[in-house]
Amino acid sequence: MYRVVIVGRPNVGKSSLFNKLLGLRTAPEKATKAGSQFAVVADVPGVTRDLKEGVVESEQGRFKLIDTGGLWSGDVWEKKIKQKVERAIQEADLVLFAVDGRSDIVTADLEVADFLRRQGKPVLLVATKIDDPKHEAYLGSFYALGFGEPVPTSAAHSRGFDELLERIWALLPIRQEESEPEVVPIRLAIVGRPNAGKSSLLNAILGEERVIVSEIPGTTRDSIDVEFDYGGSRFLLVDTAGIRKRPETGVEEQAIVRAHQAIRDADVVLLVIDPKELGDHELKLANEALEAGKPVILTITKWDLIESKEEARRVRADLALKLSHVQHLPLLYVSSVTKQNLHKLLSEAARLYELARVRFETAELNRWLSVWSTQTQLPNFKGKPLKLFFLTQPEVAPPTFVFFCNHPEFVTRAFEGFLRNRIGEDLGLREIPFRMVFRGRREGKGAGERE
């Protein structure tokens, strides 16, 4: 797939440009799923630090669009941001050089222009924030950057994007695109509190510093999607900002909203836990994922910092106590430094992905229903017993089981818990969330439903 990279100094509207191109032809039914691909935008410099990727759908075809951090930012992240931009440009087919069309050329623009000339890639100059056609009269000075006539655009007013797409496709190299069938990747959302080791885990899995890692809490300020292949499976890793109760800035608040959305969009959630920082917060995140129907792997990070077998035993015992409510979930001890259990983490994720999509034959389910009905006393209300007639599974991911009965309102919490345990043990679904629905046999004739 073609790769187009957006480059520029901080706060010129790169992320707004990225979001607008990404959303031009996003079908309504795909808009929610694509939500985590859009970049966090705020009217302050330095919001974007890592590479942010998304796929642009256009009439001419598809290309991967990469948003980057602002070059010559003058802050502590400047060197690492430049390294990531250089890496992105090396793999690019075209660079979009974004400049603020309502501002004069500044030294940083000239530095970026000189930097891009040394990269040897095709460059298309894009002037942002041109909300009114009369502002185009002031774009002449940008010819001094050496990349020809700028394309005037306005993300706020949706101006200039048809022309921009035409110019992009005119500059992309002509080549025969591979017609391989698109493989839908397994989405793994990496979530947890700030500084739990999420970004280090992603970098260790990929074998490269794909996202910036720092001891400073809040370094990751947006959800970052990265696709890769492992063991014959295609994965999409989603690194998220650290989730905490009280965000300190509007940017952090946006990033946390994206992190919660990443949980809802995920196929499997990797709940990253610092063994020395475990609290109620992690249990709330686990419950959030499970209620959304997402399998969860309890991922205990920084295991290389455990210095002795005695400390390991003590930490394991403490974790077992604090995680007793979710003890049925898979748990792995990993290290981003020594790479301990990283391959197993991906294998477990693929296994849970497949398990959440197992569909049981109706005949098998009803054989089990017959067995379960003999293993306990069925609820009875004023002399009227609950009768279970039929069991079916209409949905997967999460698996959903529908029990047809005479009176759904007779189902007690204890009996529901019995059935949940039996499905978990007898059908092998103990490690993943599933749903149970109780319906009256004659829908629409006064019979109720309970879930």
198 marked ligand binding residue? yes
β-pair partners for 100? 128
15 marked ligand binding residue? yes
On whether the CB atoms of residues 263 and 272 are closer than 8 A, the answer is no
214 marked ligand binding residue? no
As a whole number of angstroms, the distance between CA 268 and CA 235 comes to 11
DSSP at 376: S
195 marked ligand binding residue? yes
* AA identity, residue 26: T
194 marked ligand binding residue? yes
Task: Output the six-digit token pair for 111.
Answer: 């530095």
| Calculated CA dihedral for residues 418, 422, 425, 426, nearest 10 degrees | 170
Burial 64-101 (b: 16+ CB within 10 A, else e): bbbbbbbbbbeeebbebbbebbebbbeebbbbbbbbbb
108 marked ligand binding residue? no
293 marked ligand binding residue? no
446 marked ligand binding residue? no
16 marked ligand binding residue? no
242 marked ligand binding residue? yes
End-to-end CA distance of the chain: 44
192 marked ligand binding residue? yes
240 marked ligand binding residue? yes
398 marked ligand binding residue? no
358 marked ligand binding residue? no
70 marked ligand binding residue? yes
417 marked ligand binding residue? no
219 marked ligand binding residue? no
380, with CB counted inside 10 A (0-12, 13-18, 19+), is: exposed
Binding site listing for GTP? 8-15, 67-71, 192-199, 239-243
Binding site listing? 8-15, 67-71, 192-199, 239-243
